[in-house]
Chains A and B, each alone.
Chain A
Amino acid sequence: MNSLPFFIAWRYIKGRGNALLSLNARLSFIGIFVGTSLLVVVLSIFNGFQTQLKNSIFKFDPHLTLTRETGSGPEKITDWQAYKKRLQERYGDKAISIEGNITSPAIVRRKNTIEHIFLRGLEFTPAGKKWQIPSFFPQLVEPEGLQEIPQGNYCLIGREMAVNLGLYVGDTLEIVVPRGQFSLQLGVTPSIKAYKVAGFFKTGHYQYDSRVIVLPLQEAQNLFSVGEAVQQINIRLKSIEELREGKAIALKTWPFSIRTIEDEQRNFFHALQLEKTIMTIIVFLFVIAAIVGIVVATYNIVNSHRKDIGILKAIGVRNQTIVAVFTLSGFGMGFLGTLSGIMTGIFLALNLENIVSFIEKVINAVGRYYTEQWRDGIWFHVSLIPRDVYYFDSLPIHIDPHMLHMVGSVAIVLSGIAALLPALAASRLEPVRIIRGAE
Chain B
Amino acid sequence: MKLLEVTNLVKRYRDGEARVDVIRQINFSMNEGDFVSIRGASGAGKSTFLNLLGALDTFDEGDILMQNKSLRLYAKEEGLAAYRRDKIGFIFQNHYLMADFTVLENAMFPLLIQKKKKIEARDRAAGILNRVGLGHRLHHYPSQISGGESQRAAVARALVHEPALVLADEPTGNLDAKNRRLFIELLNSLQQEKNLSILVVTHEEDLASAAQRQYLMQDGQLLDWR
Question: 7 interchain pairs (CB within 8 A)?
Answer: A2-B115, A16-B101, A17-B141, A308-B100, A310-B96, A314-B54, A316-B84
Interface residue stretch chosen among B31-39, B106-114, B178-186, B188-196: B106-114
Cβ contacts under 8 Å, A22 to chain B: 100
Cβ contacts under 8 Å, A356 to chain B: none
Q: A311-B98, A314-B84 are in contact. Are A432 and B113 (CB under 8 A)?
A: no
Whether B84 contacts A318 by the Cβ 8 Å rule is no
Whether B85 contacts A432 by the Cβ 8 Å rule is no
Whether A315 contacts B100 by the Cβ 8 Å rule is no
Tier of interface size on chain A: 20 to 34
User: Which residues of B pack against A, CB within 8 Å?
Assistant: 47, 51, 54, 56-57, 79, 81-86, 88, 90, 92, 94, 96, 98-101, 109-110, 112-115, 141, 157
CB nearest neighbor in B for A309: B98
Whether B57 contacts A432 by the Cβ 8 Å rule is yes
Cβ contacts under 8 Å, A12 to chain B: 100
- Asked whether any CB of chain B lies closer than 8 Å to the CB of A249, the reply is no
- Asked whether any CB of chain B lies closer than 8 Å to the CB of A436, the reply is yes
CB nearest neighbor in A for B90: A314
Given A308-B99, A315-B109, output 11 extra A-B contacts at Cβ < 8 Å. A4-B113, A16-B100, A313-B84, A314-B56, A314-B90, A314-B96, A317-B81, A317-B85, A318-B81, A432-B57, A437-B94
A317 to B88, CA, bound (A): 13
- Asked whether any CB of chain B lies closer than 8 Å to the CB of A11, the reply is yes
Whether A316 contacts B96 by the Cβ 8 Å rule is no
CB nearest neighbor in B for A434: B96
Cβ contacts under 8 Å, A4 to chain B: 112-113, 115
- Asked whether any CB of chain B lies closer than 8 Å to the CB of A256, the reply is no
Whether A315 contacts B112 by the Cβ 8 Å rule is no
Which of B82, B114, B141 contacts A16 (CB under 8 A)? B141
Whether B57 contacts A308 by the Cβ 8 Å rule is no
A232–chain B nearest beta-carbon distance, Å: 75
The majority secondary structure among interface residues of chain A is helix
Cβ contacts under 8 Å, B85 to chain A: 315-317
Within 8 A of B (CB), among A2-23: 2, 4, 7, 11-12, 15-17, 22
Within 8 A of B (CB), among A129-188: none
A257–chain B nearest beta-carbon distance, Å: 75
A22 to B100, CA, bound (A): 10
Whether A315 contacts B57 by the Cβ 8 Å rule is no
A216 to B157, CA, bound (A): 91
A12 to B83, CA, bound (A): 27
Q: A314-B54, A318-B81 are in contact. Are A308 and B110 (CB under 8 A)?
A: no
Cβ contacts under 8 Å, A435 to chain B: 51, 56, 92, 96
Cβ contacts under 8 Å, B83 to chain A: 316
- Asked whether any CB of chain B lies closer than 8 Å to the CB of A307, the reply is yes
Q: A4-B112, A17-B141 are in contact. Are A318 and B92 (CB under 8 A)?
A: no
Whether B100 contacts A431 by the Cβ 8 Å rule is no
